[in-house]
Amino acid sequence: MAGNPAARGLADDAAVLALGAETLVLTHDSMVEGIHWLAEQDMADVAWKLLAAALSDLAAKGAEPLGVLLSYQLGGDEDAFLRGLEEALRAFDVPLLGGDTTGSRGPRSFGVTAIGKAGCGSVPDRRGGRAGDVLHVTGVIGRAMLGFEALRAGRGDSAPYRRPAPLLKEGRLLAPVVTAMMDVSDGLLLDAQRLALASGLTIDIDTAAVPVADPSRRDACLRWGDDYQLLFALPPDCRSPVPAHAIGRLTEREPAALCLDGLPVDEDDGLGFLHE
């Protein structure tokens, strides 16, 4: 169905389209009421997160954002949504290029298409990992989980969940040296498994090496999503150009899978957020 090489077999964060001397990177993200945000949330935060999630996919390709297209369902709270959208566009220095507006008779959903330009000749994806590579993550995992709990409780710091920041600068610095890269949106374990399967290798994660927001709930942090850190593989003799934590290795152990501390992971408990 998606036979064009730009689609990368629908197994990556974005489409990569050669256009003359330039390479465009295109991605689309959607958010649905009741699944991606709480009914009582400030719609300014919803707009911010919608944009940030799409730009995080560009970050995983090392791409420079050129603009976004927005699909919006009217709901009577346009002022708040537009305020958050304007704040995000300004914060990430990205122009709104257009889109579409429609009415709604049920749970609302929004979508955004982000367009970027590749910053180097080779655009990283999930399929390039090599045996012996070291797996890294750029930052602390589980902050979004704690932010969500703070939002539900009405106290504490909920900003990591409400207003994440795409690591665009870090992605551009990493793109020339990584063998594989993606962002952590659906949970570290689930996304690491996706990288492993796409590369046809096994990833063995040292769970104690993963920086987590709450060490007493390490397993929950590893399975929660929305952190938007970058997960990437580097050759063992290559130093990361950005601050990052080495958390595991890619090996030729068959079949391709995910291991934790040397043991195959039990998938019955769920590795992260699945869109079902």
Q: Is 234 helix (H, G, I), strand (E, B) or coil?
A: strand
Per-residue pLDDT at 105 = 74
Judge whether 123 lies within some domain: no
**What per-residue confidence (pLDDT) applies to 116?**
97
Residues 76 and 161 in one domain: no
- How high is the pLDDT of residue 129? 96
What is the predicted pLDDT for the residue at 276?
44
- Give dist(CA 233, CA 155) in Å, integer: 37
- Of all helices (H) and strands (E), which one includes residue 248? strand 245-251
Task: Give the residue among 232, 273, 3 at the shortest CA–CA distance from 135.
Answer: 232
Residues 104 and 158 reside in one and the same domain: no
Query: What's the CATH number where 141 sits?
Result: 3.90.650.10
**Do 145 and 99 belong together in one domain?**
no
Judge if 209 and 261 occupy the same domain.
yes
d(CA 108, CA 47): 13
Using alpha carbons, list the distances in angstroms from residue 123 to 49, 62, 118: 24, 7, 7
CA atoms of 206 and 211, how far apart (whole Å): 11
Q: Is residue 85 part of a domain?
A: yes
- Are 73 and 186 in a shared domain? no
- On whether residue 184 sits in a domain, the answer given is yes
**Residue spans of the chain under pLDDT 70:** 1-11, 106, 268-270, 272-276
At residue 275, the pLDDT reads: 44
User: Are 155 and 182 found together in one domain?
Assistant: yes
Clarify whether residues 81 and 155 are in a common domain: no
Domain end (from 73, 93, 118): 118
Closest C-alpha to 210, from 136, 134, 269: 136
Question: So what's the pLDDT on residue 243?
Answer: 98
The tally of domains found in the chain comes to: 2
User: Are 99 and 180 found together in one domain?
Assistant: no
- 271 assigned to some structural domain: no
The reply to whether the predicted model has a pTM over 0.85 is: yes
Residues 6+ apart with CB under 8 A from 193: 203, 257, 258, 265, 271
pLDDT for the residue numbered 88: 98
Two structure tokens written together for 67: 């603009």
Instruction: Tell me: do 145 and 252 sit in the same domain.
Output: yes
Q: Is the dihedral of CA 134, 174, 144, 202 positive or negative?
A: negative
The answer to whether residues 138 and 110 belong to one domain is: no
Residue 73's pLDDT is 87
Domain range for 207 is 134-265
| Tokens 């400030």 found at | 42
pLDDT digit string (tens) for 80-132?
999 999 999 999 999 999 999 888 776 888 999 999 999 877 899 899 999 99
Q: Is residue 176 part of a domain?
A: yes
Q: Is residue 251 located within the same domain as residue 179? A: yes
